[in-house]
Structure 1
Amino acid sequence: MVTYDKPHLTYEQQLARLVERGMPYRDHAAALSSLKRTGYYRLSAYTYSFRKRDADGVVESQFVDGSSLEAAVDLHDFDVKLRATLLAGLEAFEVALRVQIAYTLGRRDKYGHLDPENALDGGFCGHPADSSDPGGRTRYDIWLTKYDKRCKDAEREDFVKHFKEKYDGRLPIWAATEVMDLGLIARLYGFLLRDDRVKISRNFGPRREPDFRAWTKSLNLLRNHCAHGDRIWNRSFTYTLPEFATGAIDSRLDHLASSPDLMRRKLYSLAAVLASVLTTVDPYSNWPRSFATQAKKLPGVPQVVTHQMMGFPSDWQELELWKYQPVARGR
């Protein structure tokens, strides 16, 4: 095992290192400011796209001709705005999923989220969370622990205090969902009885419920990356979206039917799914146009930074999905 022995570099030394490798800058003060606000290591995730590759595709330490620190910073700043746009859409999805779960499970049992044996899929809830878990906890046990912590964190909220002071402290599902984050919501969706999952999934578009379950899992992962400020624009995500079968999903996603696995791990596929579900559940949504507007601002560095690196098809701007006209709200 090799010991990491690279030395600490001052900001000036960091700039000198970039220049030495072929990444100049125009303004010294602005370059220093960029390093101080972003950090050399964090910025390296964006300068990486500018590095040369040899004939075998191996990444070298030198940057391609035409690289500049300004271009790398522009790419970083584009990613910041892209995350903000995605978070707005993911928040809308989270709220819509909360509503659907609260409404559907609430009809069955207002405390259904606390009754895994009767109101939820007991078999799935009782599945071991991890064979290595010393306590032998189930998936539901883990979920309930996280839910209880969220309730405790929210105990100063007026609606939580109301249920603690006037009733037995348990939150009915329509109140409980308000303390859950998307991760808890997505897991609770997976715990629901199949009939309830099907009712909910069809409100978001997919005819096959397992497709929607996979989408919620992937969108939750995307939300986590965005919330933690991770690089998004060219990331290959952990989960691969299921293959898209034409006729089983929104026809506006048909262009993804032939996408290879690698492309279904890229941002474009996730953004397309998010645009589809948002406009299906809320015809007033303007999110697809907001995302398309931001995506078009990808800093132009020919053959170095491209939309294809994000999984975008070449004709994406002409697709119906991104030209969606929201229904006008009545006054």
Structure 2
Amino acid sequence: MRVFDKPAIDIAGQIALLKARGLQIQDEARARHFLEAVSFFRLTPYMRPFQLADDPQHGFRSGTGFRSLTRLYDFDRRLRLLAMDAIERVEVAARAAISNHMGPNRGAHWYLQAACFQRQYDHQRLLGSVRDKQQRALHDYERDCRRIDRLPDEQRKAQLKQQRARESYARHYPLTYREPELMPGWAMMEELTLGDLSHLYAGLAHDADRKAIARRLGLVAPLLESWLHTLTTVRNICAHHARLWNRELGIRPELPKKPAFPWPEQLRRPGAHNRMFPVLCILNHLMRQVSPHTSWDRRLHDLLAEFPEVDLRAMGFPQDWQQDPFWQAPH
């Protein structure tokens, strides 16, 4: 290990450094504006495909221009937005699938029952999380009420307090009901993060519940469990505005094995399958389940067509991927 000795440099210095490394910058004013909005450090991963391999000075290949970097950055940004759009729809549908099955079959407050979960699932953590949300909501309500009490209009005070009480169910429930202490399952489901949702589904004790929930999304239980875990990872990448396009995921999602399952033929063959292509296939399949008239796949096609210079092999795309029947399902 060595002592870190790299100096911080201003934008003018950053542009000079890029030019010294062989990057062509025709419009320095535009480059300066871009680096003011997107930091040099954030742009660094998008430089690597254009840099000479094994060059300690990080030199650029001959003819590489600044626009090549910004185009790749813009493509990745829009890919993240497209992925997040689908993940949001899938996440909401997964919450609904769990709630719509567990409530009618296990009761309004089903999640209070430890028997609904596997022994290794941290049931107390779930209950503590819901309890904390309700307590924070009450604390916020009490703070709002103290502020409202300073107003002179008594009639207006009561109206405002009623409005504040209805602003969230985490406030409304403890202000309205004494027992059970915690909100019903359908409200609890809306308080979970996608990661919490993934863990909750994986932690359900009864195979019958897991299978019935998965069927609502056109899947078998092992696929839904794996795909929720995978999409949690991808969502976290997107939420932090991190590089997605050529990301090698640290996890490999479970892939369908039954021949009748609509799935790209290339992904039925052995391989690493840890790039973005399988994730996009997962999102495409799930979007067709939760939104049968979706145009999400067309938007993906359009994005890739707009950036033909992007190396799809780095994303795990096979050749002639668009010819696979999986991507040609009628709308």
Q: TM-score range by the shorter chain?
A: 0.7 to 0.9
Matched, 1:140 2:149: no
1:115 aligns with 2:113: yes
Matches within 5 A, 1:285-304: 285-298=294-307, 300=309
SS of the residue aligned with 2:52?
strand
Corresponding residue for residue 208 of structure 2: 195
The answer to whether the 8 A contact 1:253-1:273 is kept is no
Query: Computing the radius of gyration over CA atoms, which structure comes out larger, 1 or 2?
Result: 2
Q: Report what 1:96 is aligned to.
A: 93
| Structure-1 residue corresponding to 2:326 | 321
Distance 2:69 2:135 in 1: 43
**Cα offset, 1:147, TM superposition:** 4.1
Letter in 2 for 1:308: R
The answer to whether the 8 Å contact 1:78/1:298 transfers is: yes
The reply to whether residue 222 of structure 1 matches residue 231 of structure 2 is: no
Q: 1:255 aligns with which of 266, 270, 294?
A: 266
Contact between 1:204 and 1:278, CA under 8 Å: does it hold in 2? Answer: no
Paired AA for residue 301 in structure 2: A
> What is the letter of the counterpart of residue 58 of structure 2?
S
Query: Which residue of 155, 176, 190 corresponds with 1:166?
Result: 176
Q: Give SS of 1:62's match.
A: coil
Q: Which residue of 2 aligns with 1:48?
A: 48
CA distance in 2, matches of 1:60, 1:175: 55
Displacement of 1:204 in angstroms is 2.1
Q: What do you get for the CA RMSD once the two structures are aligned?
A: 2.1
Q: Which amino acid aligns with 1:91?
A: E
> CA–CA distance in 2 between the matches of 1:23 and 1:9?
18
Q: Deviations over 1:103-131 (max 9, x none)?
A: 11102121122222x2x233232xxxxxx
Q: Distance in 2 between matches of 1:60 and 1:215?
A: 40
Structure 1 residue identity aligned to 2:268: A
Structure 2 counterparts to residues 225-240 of structure 1, below 5 A: 225-240=237-252
Question: For residues 100 and 15 of structure 1, what CA distance do their matches in structure 2 show?
Answer: 51
The normalised TM-score by structure 1 is 0.84
CA–CA separation in structure 2 for the residues paired with 1:81 and 1:219: 17
Equivalent position amino acid for 1:260 in 2: G
Q: Output the CA distance in 1 between the equivalents of 2:281 and 2:88.
A: 16
- Looking at structure 1, the residues matched to 230 and 8 of structure 2 have their Cα atoms a distance apart, in angstroms, of 37
- Aligned ranges 1:23-38 → 2 under 5 Å: 23-38=23-38
CA distance in 1, matches of 2:134, 2:75: 36
Aligned residues: 300
Q: Which amino acid aligns with 2:192?
A: M
Identity of aligned residues (%): 28
Q: 1:150 to 1:50 in 2, by over 3 A?
A: farther
273-282 vs 69-78, which moves further:
273-282
Alpha carbons 2:79, 2:245 under 8 Å: kept: yes
Distance 2:30 2:308 in 1: 18
**Any stretches of 5+ residues in structure 1 without a counterpart?**
126-138, 327-331
Distance 1:60 1:14, change over 3 A: closer
Quick one: structure 1 residues 191 and 316, their matched pair in 2 at CA, closer, same or farther if it must change by over 3 Å?
A: same
CA distance in 2, matches of 1:40, 1:52: 19
The alpha-carbon deviation at position 163 of structure 1 amounts to: 1.4
Q: How far is 1:318 from its partner? A: 2.2
Secondary structure of the 2:263 match is: helix
1:239-282 CA distance string (max 9 Å, x none) = 1112442427x323343111512xx2111101101111221233
Q: Which amino acid aligns with 1:122?
A: Q
Contact 1:215–1:273 under 8 Å retained in 2? yes
Distance in 2, matches of 1:259 and 1:152, equals 50
Asked if 1:284 corresponds to 2:293, the answer is yes
2:117 and 2:123 in contact (8 A); partners too = no
Corresponding residue SS for 1:13: helix
Q: How big is the shift at 1:42?
A: 0.6
Q: 1:153 to 1:257 in 2, by over 3 A?
A: farther
Counterpart code for 1:97 = A
2:58 partner SS: strand
Quick one: distance in 2 between partners of 1:149 and 1:35?
41
Whether 1:310 aligns to 2:315 is yes
Alpha carbons 1:78, 1:299 under 8 Å: kept: no
Displacement of 1:149:
4.3
Gap runs ≥5 in structure 2: 142-166
Q: State the TM-score, normalizing by the size of structure 2.
A: 0.84
